[in-house]
Chains A and B, each alone.
Chain A
Amino acid sequence: MFAKRPIITMLAALFVFGFVVLTPGAHVAAQEKPTHAKICLTCHKAEPGNIRGYLEGAAFKSQSLQVKIDDAAEILTFDPAKLKVVIKGKTEEAEALRDISKGHEIRVEYIEKNGAKFATLVSSKPPISVPAEKLVTTDEMMKLVAMGPDKGKYMLVDSRPAPRFYEGSIPTAVNIPDAAFAGNVDKLPGNKDITLIFYCGGMT
């Protein structure tokens, strides 16, 4: 449902502002700035009219929000009376923007208005739900680590990208970044009955 609308908007923009859009300078500028953070593209496809990145800040006083997309920053304006904010699948009013913590992954739907991006919807990435019987608590994790992999009969896998792992990991963990899982299957134990525990940067 998102695919069609932006195309129509873009066509309309081309029709009305054709001379602006087609100037080389404007074209290059539009190409240079990413709309989706690289890590988001491991699971999502880039959609026109959407931005995916990390929420850096929101200022109600100037009705703007800042999204970090890799090394770039995108500033969008919004109307506090109209912006929709989706948290855990529930659509709420603009005020809910304050409930999304800084640095959290978000998707923003926007339209171009006078050459600037105007946000219409901000969706906060919900945590992936894991069935309760598969969850390990911090206390259980601490007990296992104290025993060690041999006595505790487990293998602990850190699914974060290597640079995060290098900054400190849970003792006894092996790093297999989720994005590189397929190429590292040989690092997993041969015994398929062993307790295999995965962790990453948490739910937020």
Chain B
Amino acid sequence: MSPNSARKAEQLGYKNVKVYHEGMPEWNKKNYSVLSAHSLNASYIKNDIPHVMLDVRPESKAKKGFIPGAVTFPAADADKLLSKLPPADKKPPVIVYDQEGGKDAMEVARKLNKAGYKKTSVVVGGYDLWDNSNYPTKRGSLATEAVYVPKPRPGEISIDDFKKIAAGIPADTIVLDVRNTDEANAGMIKGAMLIPDEELLGRLAELPKDKKIVTHCATGVRAEMAYHKLKDKGYKVNFLNAKIDIDKQGNATITKE
């Protein structure tokens, strides 16, 4: 996109046009980004995008008014609070604000970036600008522990729900194993049905339309493809988006990245 715009600017007569081609991903590796109160509201808040929001003011001050969803994370205690955050390898977007978008927020954002949080942003103008722009605020106690739950993909079943079903498959449900026969030979969930993903469309007649279907494979990739194939054909279907190992006895070990 940026090289296109650069070309258009040159056509308008701009003589000194450059492209920062590495762009946002490389910037985020070494720096925090910024967002305005309007941006914060229009993205994370309105679209319900999972994130971690940190209020870095002293808690006593934050209690008088804070941005809904924020966790108290006083700048003075940042170093020792770092370990309480959701792990960086889950890649949570972290939003940091202070009173007026000043040094405290920037300093905490820099620390977070160094600690491996590569999608960290600072709210420009801080709490003051948010409040002055008439966006919603809250008073009272702030949460002390940040929680980050990535949004499930369409059709994804929760691991807990899958475990419940796998423990005793209800009569109205089919657990559909879409791995290859040789993978399934090493062990299958008790009562599950095997149709390798590549055979699925040719064997739809084996699947009753009035049952709920839950697909799984070994990693979630084929299970998701099977989900889309079945959904397109009008089935009620979900899939397990996780790594799953099944032993000879049918015991499943499920791990989510």
Contacts and interface: CB of A to CB of B under 8 A. Distances in A.
A188 to B, nearest CB: 7
A195 B18 CA distance: 7
B8 A181 contact: yes
B27 A170 contact: yes
A193 interface: yes
Interface stretch (B127-135, B140-148, B221-229, B243-251): B221-229
A16 interface: no
Given A62-B196, A134-B6, A159 B1 contact: yes
A111 B197 CA distance: 19
Q: Of residues B4, B49, B93, which shows the largest number of chain A Cβ atoms within 10 Å of its Cβ? A: B4
Q: Of residues B8, B28, B119, B180, which shows the largest number of chain A Cβ atoms within 10 Å of its Cβ? A: B8
A101 to B, nearest CB: 11
Given A157-B5, A168-B33, A171-B33, A75 B20 contact: no
Contacts of B178: 62
B16 A202 contact: no
A73 interface: yes
A128 B5 contact: no
A171 B221 CA distance: 37
Band of interface residues on B: 35 or more
A137 B18 CA distance: 10
Contacts of A134: 6, 17-19
B194 interface: no
A130 interface: yes
A188 B14 contact: yes
Interface of B: 1-6, 8-9, 12-31, 33-35, 38-40, 42-44, 47, 49, 93, 119, 121, 178-180, 183, 196-198, 201-202, 217, 221-222, 224-225, 228-229, 232
Q: Which 6 A-B pairs have the closest CB atoms?
A: A168-B33, A62-B197, A202-B23, A166-B43, A168-B121, A199-B20
29 contacts: A43-B4, A59-B225, A61-B222, A73-B224, A130-B19, A134-B6, A134-B18, A135-B21, A136-B20, A138-B20, A142-B30, A162-B42, A166-B35, A166-B38, A166-B42, A167-B35, A167-B39, A167-B44, A167-B49, A170-B31, A170-B34, A176-B5, A181-B4, A192-B15, A196-B14, A198-B6, A198-B9, A198-B19, A203-B21
Interface of A: 29, 43, 56-59, 61-64, 66, 73-75, 77, 114-116, 127-128, 130, 134-138, 141-142, 145, 156-157, 159-160, 162-171, 176-178, 181-182, 185, 188, 192-204
